[in-house]
């Protein structure tokens, strides 16, 4: 076990790390708190302590051979020998044979929660921080020690959460002081090559054994992952993770110097937030008490202001992390070990500083290995710089012209990136040219690299270490177009030859503008307000995320944020804060409509994936379905017997005794609630959507309605997810998440195949999902590999394979017919009828509707007796007549449908889902 001082240090560092990187804002119009949920902290503390215990056990003399073996395997990976499948298979078999992981014990959820809670409560009781205040008597500054953390509660969506809040003085330290000392080494890059992934849980850091997949509350996925690893189906996928982890990085010193100068100045520049939040708080309107609109607008402005303040604090702390980690690794090479999510997408394990981070991270990083540019390398370096300034939709010649025309600006940016006048607060200081780029720090790095190359004796011989990017055009739509063999969609996303790159976002924007113009001519208020104000930036995020399952409400939030950024020549917001939500919803609907027009085939495939996932998630094996039927029948029969017994007892003026009641209704006896919960759980859909990627990874969607367990601790009662309890699936989430997850799994497969081939070709390779990086001189070779692997991937019958897998995996599953209730006299076999479920209404509403119907019926008969002409004059009576006729038609349709459905159709076979013909082009 651990010594008390070490446990105390782990507790302090972990709480400081989480509090400094995850501030949380409160509600509108209320004093803000920056805190974390107690449950999050408790879980993080227990995990950190548990990992340290494991590490200490591994360091024991009896386990020292493990570290030595890990280092030797890592050296073997660095030599490239492990990319031979035969060698990798032999080493993996040897590792499994000699694996002894007795030191990898596990803690149950109750133990983890109580240990973490105990440590947190001790920290709250003992941690103190100096606070300065004015003495009311002397007026001088006095120091006192106050608690550094406070524990409280916060209400959110009707639920109460425990919150840990750091003192304001401590939060200020997070924004300015060096905090690299609070970062656990397991969250930092490696100085040596990472251990290769030979099996599902032996790779990454040398001294830490964790699964290669990021798994949270999904034990089912871990079982599938272990089975795939033991069946030797993960070699290609794990080799891809190794190739990414072996890329060697360094800090870009000139860019770091510029970043440090801006950081130390405390000014907001280049997306580095200012030291303090200087936006004034919105003024409370004079008519706040009398005007509802003024009150609503003020509260929304306060919420926006508080969110901006919390966001600025968060960004400042995050930037502090990145600057300090870069400073620590300034003179050292580094490696980023990789793992993956449940879909197979690769991510660097160090969370705070890596090439998947923001523009600042990417600008600070360069490849450790340099390579001579050559003619094509110089060409691609210029193209890369133009792309960073948003010129990526121009032809290559136009981009080269842009760079040549701005060569003086490029050199000036490289020579003096951050003039002293800019950070000293001079009122008329000129902005450097590189700040006009979309990705400013990467643009500065490109300016410095291009300037150094041009000024060298031989530019083509200049050794460059800068990473050059090749990005996909809305990569999800590219996969949909390839799966559907959609030539029109393929052209829009640059899968077809063209003189210049197609801009899918501009295409959608043009469609949206056309639809809005049509509505404006009809006088639609939102359309009139949007005339001439829509830009590519407003629609881009929604177009990008539509293929990944963004909902209409999610798109509304995205567009609303972009509309609030639109300002007039006076710097005032064009769209009112109160009305922007309605306008954003209108634009979101138009974007979805425009996308449906442009990518019809993609929409059809997405619909098929949605429907397949819906049926799977609502299905159950036949025994479970029979149990569900029996439970319904038993419940109805016992209720009917109970009602009959109550009537008999009432007629005979007697009272039913308890024994008789329990004999008729055993579900009311002791343990009834527990049995009811277990029966309900046994008959709920438990089937999650599972499929296999082209690389052999079995993907299990983790969306379930997890059971909660309340753990009583010394700090508070904490509700935690109990992953060991069976939980029904979240059918809606399974349905909506399947199309984007499936496309992500294809995207991950393509990236992994490209990474392996680039490694075999001797290229230095990195990727950010659908953005591929290498040296400038190797871009042409990487492009050939990327395209070849994409073609090889989609030569497979991907959709047909998926359908065949579903038919085989779920062949014994049946789905109850949605919207119909089977009402049987005795059992489901002897017969019965299907009737449409109707919306529930209260008895009062039903009685009022019946009275209204009777009155209308009497009035109708009276008017018909007086003559048809008089009847036609009463609009209410006509409306009643039409409604009655429509109801009769609907009743007839329902009865007809019920008669057509045989008893065998009480369930629906999952295989009755038609597959889109992938060879049919929708030109």
Would you please indicate which residues are annotated as catalytic (active-site) residues?
A: 471, 540, 770
* Strands 141-147, 128-134: pairing kind: antiparallel
User: Which residues is 371 bridged to in the sheet?
Assistant: 464
User: Which residues is 766 bridged to in the sheet?
Assistant: 773
Task: Report the number of secondary-structure helices (H) and strands (E) in the chain.
Answer: 33, 24
382 closest CA partner among 363, 360, 401: 401
3-state secondary structure of 130: strand
- In angstroms, the CA 61 to CA 73 distance is 20
Non-local (6+) Cβ contacts of 487 within 8 A are 496, 921, 923
Non-local (6+) Cβ contacts of 379 within 8 A are 400
Quick one: DSSP state of residue 204? B
User: Which residues is 573 bridged to in the sheet?
Assistant: 567
CA dist 739 → 603, 664, 767, 919 (Å): 10, 48, 23, 20
- In angstroms, the CA 392 to CA 399 distance is 8
667 closest CA partner among 680, 686, 654, 685: 680
Helix pair angle (731-760, 235-245), 10° resolution: 70
Q: Is the dihedral of CA 852, 857, 862, 863 positive or negative?
A: positive
Please answer whether residues 398 and 391 qualify as being in contact, where contact means their C-beta atoms are separated by less than 8 angstroms. yes
Backbone angles phi, psi at 249, to 5 degrees: -120, 160
Quick one: DSSP state of residue 461? G
Q: Is the dihedral of CA 411, 412, 416, 417 positive or negative?
A: negative
716-720 LR contacts (CB < 8 Å, sep 24+): 716/38, 716/117, 716/151, 716/162, 718/38, 718/39, 718/42, 718/113, 718/117, 718/162, 719/39, 720/39, 720/43, 720/109, 720/113
Structure tokens at 337: 């070990």
236 closest CA partner among 866, 694, 787, 758: 694
736 closest CA partner among 597, 607, 850, 826: 607
CA-based max dimension of the chain: 113
154 closest CA partner among 19, 301, 27: 27
Please answer whether residues 877 and 871 qualify as being in contact, where contact means their C-beta atoms are separated by less than 8 angstroms. yes
Torsion of CA 539, 545, 549, 552, to 10 degrees: -30
Would you tell me how many other CB atoms lie within 10 Å of the CB of residue 843? Answer: 7
User: Which residues is 195 bridged to in the sheet?
Assistant: 204
Placement of tokens 């993996």 in the chain: 92
- In angstroms, the CA 610 to CA 806 distance is 13
- What are the DSSP E strand ranges found in 472-569? none
- DSSP code per residue over 553-569: HHHHHHHHHHHTT-B-T
620 closest CA partner among 631, 633, 609: 631
CA dist 451 → 323, 381, 456, 677 (Å): 25, 11, 9, 70
- In angstroms, the CA 829 to CA 812 distance is 19
């Amino acid at each position: 076990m651990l010594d008390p001082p070490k446990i105390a240090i782990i507790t302090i560092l972990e709480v400081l790390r989480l509090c400094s990187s995850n501030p949380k804002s409160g509600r509108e119009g209320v004093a803000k708190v920056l805190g974390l949920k107690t449950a999050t902290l408790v879980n993080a503390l227990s995990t950190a302590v548990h990992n340290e215990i494991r590490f200490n056990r591994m360091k024991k003399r009896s386990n020292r051979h493990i570290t030595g073996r890990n280092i030797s395997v890592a050296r073997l990976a660095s030599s490239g020998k492990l990319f031979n499948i035969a060698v990798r298979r032999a080493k993996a078999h040897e590792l499994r044979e000699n694996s002894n992981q007795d030191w990898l014990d596990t803690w149950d959820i109750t133990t983890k929660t109580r240990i973490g809670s105990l440590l947190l409560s001790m920290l709250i009781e003992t941690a103190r921080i100096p606070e300065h205040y004015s003495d009311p008597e002397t007026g001088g500054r006095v120091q006192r020690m106050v608690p550094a953390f406070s524990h409280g509660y916060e209400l959110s969506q009707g639920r109460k959460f425990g919150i840990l809040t750091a003192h304001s003085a401590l939060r200020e330290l997070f924004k300015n002081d060096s905090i690299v000392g609070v970062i656990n080494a397991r969250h930092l890059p490696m100085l040596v090559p990472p251990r290769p992934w030979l099996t599902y849980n032996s790779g990454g850091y040398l001294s830490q054994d964790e699964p290669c997949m990021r798994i949270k509350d999904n034990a089912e996925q871990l079982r599938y992952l272990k089975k795939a690893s033991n069946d030797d189906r993960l070699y290609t996928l794990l080799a891809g993770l190794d190739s990414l982890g072996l890329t060697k990085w360094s800090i870009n010193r000139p860019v770091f110097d510029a970043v440090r100068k801006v950081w130390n100045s405390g000014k907001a520049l280049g997306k580095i937030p200012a030291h303090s939040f200087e936006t004034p708080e919105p003024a409370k309107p004079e008519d706040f008490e009398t005007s509802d609109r003024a009150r609503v607008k003020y509260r929304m402005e306060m919420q926006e202001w508080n969110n901006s303040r919390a966001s600025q604090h968060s960004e400042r702390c995050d930037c502090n992390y990145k600057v300090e980690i870069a400073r620590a690794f300034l003179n050292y090479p580094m490696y980023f070990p990789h793992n993956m999510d449940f879909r197979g997408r690769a991510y660097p394990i160090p969370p705070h500083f890596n090439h998947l981070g923001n523009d600042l991270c990417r600008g600070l990083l360069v490849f450790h290995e340099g390579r001579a540019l050559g003619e094509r390398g110089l060409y691609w370096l210029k193209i890369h710089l133009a792309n960073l300034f948003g010129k990526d939709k121009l032809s290559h010649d136009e981009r080269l012209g842009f760079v040549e025309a701005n060569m003086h600006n490029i050199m000036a940016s490289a020579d003096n990136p951050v003039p002293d006048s800019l950070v000293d607060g001079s009122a008329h200081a000129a902005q450097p040219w590189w700040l006009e780029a979309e990705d400013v720090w990467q643009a500065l790095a490109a300016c410095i690299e291009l300037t150094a190359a041009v000024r060298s004796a031989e530019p083509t011989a200049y050794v460059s270490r800068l990473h050059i990017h090749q990005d996909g055009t809305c990569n999800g739509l590219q996969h949909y177009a390839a799966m559907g063999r959609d030539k029109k969609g393929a052209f829009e996303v640059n899968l077809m030859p063209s003189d210049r790159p197609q801009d899918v976002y501009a295409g959608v924007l043009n469609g949206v503008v056309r639809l809005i113009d049509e509505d404006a001519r009809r006088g639609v208020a939102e359309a009139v307000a949007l005339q001439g104000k829509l830009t590519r930036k407003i629609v881009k995020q929604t177009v990008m995320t539509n293929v990944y399952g963004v909902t209409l409400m999610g798109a509304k939030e995205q567009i609303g944020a972009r509309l609030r950024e639109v300002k007039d020549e006076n710097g005032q917001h064009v769209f009112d804060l109160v009305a922007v939500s309605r306008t954003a919803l209108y634009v979101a609907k138009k974007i979805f409509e425009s996308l449906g027009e442009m990518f019809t085939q993609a929409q059809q495939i997405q619909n098929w994936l949605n429907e397949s996932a819906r049926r799977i998630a609502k299905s159950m094996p036949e025994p479970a379905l029979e149990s569900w039927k029996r439970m319904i029948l038993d419940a109805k029969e016992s209720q009917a017997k109970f009602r009959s017994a109550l009537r008999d007892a009432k007629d005979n003026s007697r009272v039913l005794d308890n024994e008789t009641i329990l004999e008729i209704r055993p579900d009311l006896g002791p343990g009834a609630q527990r049995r009811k919960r277990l029966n309900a759980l046994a008959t709920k859909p438990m089937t999650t959507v599972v499929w296999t990627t082209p690389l052999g990874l079995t993907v299990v969607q983790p969306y379930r309605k997890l059971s909660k367990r309340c753990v009583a601790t010394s700090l508070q009662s904490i509700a935690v997810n109990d992953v060991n309890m069976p939980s029904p699936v979240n059918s809606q989430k399974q349905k909506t998440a399947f199309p984007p997850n499936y496309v992500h799994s294809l995207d991950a497969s393509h990236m992994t195949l490209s990474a392996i081939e680039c490694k075999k070709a001797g290229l230095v390779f990195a990727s950010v999902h659908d953005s591929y990086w290498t040296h400038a001189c190797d871009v042409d070779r990487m492009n050939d590999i990327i395209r070849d692997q994409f073609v090889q991937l989609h030569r497979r019958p991907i959709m047909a394979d998926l359908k065949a897998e579903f038919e085989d995996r779920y062949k014994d599953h049946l789905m109850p017919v949605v919207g119909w209730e089977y009402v049987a006299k005795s059992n489901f076999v002897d017969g019965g009828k299907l009737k449409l479920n109707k919306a529930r209404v209260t008895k009062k509403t039903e009685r009022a509707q019946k009275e209204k119907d009777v009155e209308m019926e009497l009035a109708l008969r009276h008017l018909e007796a007086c003559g048809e002409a008089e009847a036609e004059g009463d609009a209410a009576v006509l409306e009643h007549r039409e409604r009655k006729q429509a109801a009769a038609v609907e009743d007839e349709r329902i009865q007809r449908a019920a008669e057509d459905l045989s008893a065998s159709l009480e369930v629906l076979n999952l295989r009755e889902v038609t597959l889109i013909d992938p060879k049919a082009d929708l030109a």
